[in-house]
Each structure stands twice: as structure tokens, then as C-alpha cells.
Chain A
Amino acid sequence: MDRTILGLLAILAAFLAGSLLLPSWAVSLATVALAKALVILGLLVLLRAGLVPFGQALFFALGAYGAGMALREAGSGDVVAGLFAGTAAAASAAVLLGFLMARYREIFFAMLSLAFSMLLYGLLVKNAALGGTDGFNVPAPTFLGWAPSPATARRVLLAVAAALAIGCHAAIHVYLRSTMGRLATAIRDNEIRVEYLGASVQRAIHVKFAIAGTLAGMGGVLTAFSAGHIDPGMSYWTASGEFVFVTVMGGAGSVLAPIAGSFLFEIVRTYAVEYAPQAWQAVVGAVLLVIILVLPGGLWSLFQRRRGTQPP
């Protein structure tokens, strides 16, 4: 079997073991890191085509609010139902906005995406029914009718997040190896030739945008359950910036990079906030600076032996 898939299975096994053995603070950190790895995985799909959305938090927040509102309506805390509701909300928004976004490239693509995310932020902040700037709480997670104690529920949530995230990473790995996936590099290199081979560049980008939005929505739902709370900050531009930051930090070489990047970021942030609460952003910024200077291809280039070519 493929080495990346084997690596993903090993990571899954480690997380499942971790869901039983880790201390509770680490359980939350791991869940959030996995949730955000999903968002970054989506950004990787777009980055391969040369597109960087500066407003991906739009779908992250839509996933969280979609799940939160559906569950509040139903008076339930079911994780499966929340995942379906939130992911569907983000996915349909991504499909819809994709019709517009697929027409733009480069800075225009980035800024349009940012504009949509800030639009959502503005709407959420003004909406009293959704708690305005305070947001609202998400019920304690239950699993298809099973309602374990909150401490156990957190551990089960990590296991669910691990299964889901690893499954998505494996699926995207297979996708990136297909012609559809490799079309991203072709589009980045030369759109005219792609059209003259008989493929629609706009449709390919639309599909990639929809995939990225769906993954971001899923990540938003998991983050909402893990934090137990939702607020408009999830859609703010700094959240989008953080996703781009971690994507660059991880690199676009492999689907393992988003997991590695997301973890390193959560760990650095946790310790930076702990030891330098007034200056944690400066610490995180310094880490990115060092990575860009030392490893221009992202963390992943540490593991890459072949140079010059992009592995599938």
C-alpha cells in the first residue's frame, strides 16, 4: 500500500490510543488541531491550483453555526446530526459561491473570499437571536442517543474527529493523485493549454472550491463541539489568516502536511499563550518567519527527498 496511506493509518491509531490515554487538556488540543487540519487540507487543494482564499473562515463559521443552530432548534447535542447539518450548510454555500469565485484568480480571488467572510461576520455580530458578538453555547456532545459524561464525551469526540479527519485526508490523497487532482498543477501552470486539451478550467476550480468549503465546514463543526461555544470570531479575518498561515507553514507537498502544520501551530500557540500571554502572536509570527527562511517548502520539505518535482 501507499506510504502516505500507511502514515495516515498510523496517525489514526495514535489518535485512537490518545483518545483513551491523553490528559484532558491534550484531548481538546488534539481535537481542535484535527478540526483545523481539515480546513487546511481544503486550502491545500486550492493552493495546488495556485489559489489562496483569504476568507476560508467563512465556511469554518458556517459549519459551526449551521450545526449549532440546527441542534439548538432540535434541542439535541448529537454529533452526527451536527456534522451533517453544519457540513451541508458550508457545502451548499461553497457550491453556490463557487459559481462566482471560479471566475477570479490571484489577489482578486483572495479578496473576494475575504469580503464574503467579513460579510458573514457583520451579519453574525448584528444578529441578536444568535447572540451577537457573544455567540451561543453548543450542548454537550451526544453520539446517536448515547450521552456519556462530559469527560468521556470529549474523548469520544476526539476519536470521531480522528476517524473523520484521517478518512478525509486519505480521500484527498487519492483525489490529488488522479487526473482531476493533478489538473490543479496544470491550471496553475497554464490555463490556456488546459482549455485547449478540452477541459473546463472554471469547472475544475469550482469543484476544488466546493471541496475546500465542505472540509472547512466539517472542521468548523468539530471545533464548535470541542469548544462548546460558537461566536462570530470564527468568521473574522484573523481566523482566515491563521488558516493560510498554517497552510504555508505545513507546505503543499503532501496531505500529511496539514496535520503536521496544524499540530505544531496548536502546540506553539498553547505554550506561547501560557508563557507569554502578552506577546504570543509575536512568538507565533517568529516561528513562521524561521520556517519560511529555513524551509521555504514548509515543514513538509523536511520529509521530502526528491527535489524539483512535486510528489503526488
Chain B
Amino acid sequence: MYYRTMSLQQLYQLLLEHPQKGFQIVVERYQKPLLSYITYKSFFAGNVEDVFQETMYRAYKNISSLKNPERMYAWLCGIALNVIREYGRRHHLHLPLREELLETSRPPEVTSDIATKISLLPEMYQQVVVLKYLDGYSYKEISDLLRIHISTVRSRLFEARKILRNTMEGEQ
């Protein structure tokens, strides 16, 4: 029970002393939001399992390189993003070709226009939108996860929605 409620600093200490035990707690804590993030980011490529496994492996291997434990979730997301990019490069799925990929690989009803619009948002807005809509987290939970203030979460969501609404209205 103690392991579940321990602070990030304590978790970091545990990671340094007992990497395997510490990493199990990291997985318990961040598996759900990380999986959501990868599912969203791999929407166009559909390689969620590979990316998730590779992210976990790299995180486990390089856990000692984590400098700021407060930014653990952001660090994991960064690894996942790098893995997705590498995968894209290896399979020639460059980011500018996303829209083409969207048109060609999926049926039209699934190729939601909104997916491309969200992917054009700044990364910090995307993270908040994914946590809010895909995981259904509250403002408090998002702020705990991203280590930002609740008002920042609220303003980021607001900004993201404003951008999305404006782009949609601009098209109409």
C-alpha cells in the first residue's frame, strides 16, 4: 500500500536502489495514461503494442538517466514519441504524410477530420486533450500527472478547444 502512495522523490530513490521493484510501480502508475497517449499518437500507424513494448523497454533500460523525477510522465511520453518517430522513419511514415495515410488506409467514416486537427495542436495541448477525452481524467488528476497547476490545465484545455473550434469554423 505504501508503494502506491509514495511521492515521486521516494519512487525515484526506490528506482535507484531496486530498479525492478521501482519500475513495477512506475508501470502501475503510468500504464493507463501512457497507453492512451500511444494509442492516440499511433492512430495513423496502428502499431500500439510494438511502440508500447519498446517504450517500456527503453524506459527500463535508461531509468538511471531520468534527471527530474517530477517529470516522469513527460519523460515516458518523450520516449514514446521518439519510438513512434523511429517507427515512422523505418516504415516511411513521415509526419507530413499523415493526412494522406489517413485518406488511404482507413474507411471514410473512421477517418475523422478532427484527428488531423488535434495532431496539429501544440504538444502540450494534445497531452491535456488526450488525458481529458481518452482517459476521462479530471482537472486534478491531469494536474497531478503532468505536475502543473489546475488553472494551467483548464487554460490549456480552453486554448485547445478555441483553436479546434476556430479551425472548424474557418473551414465551414
| A and B part of one assembly | no
Chain A positions within 8 Å of B, measured between CB atoms, are none
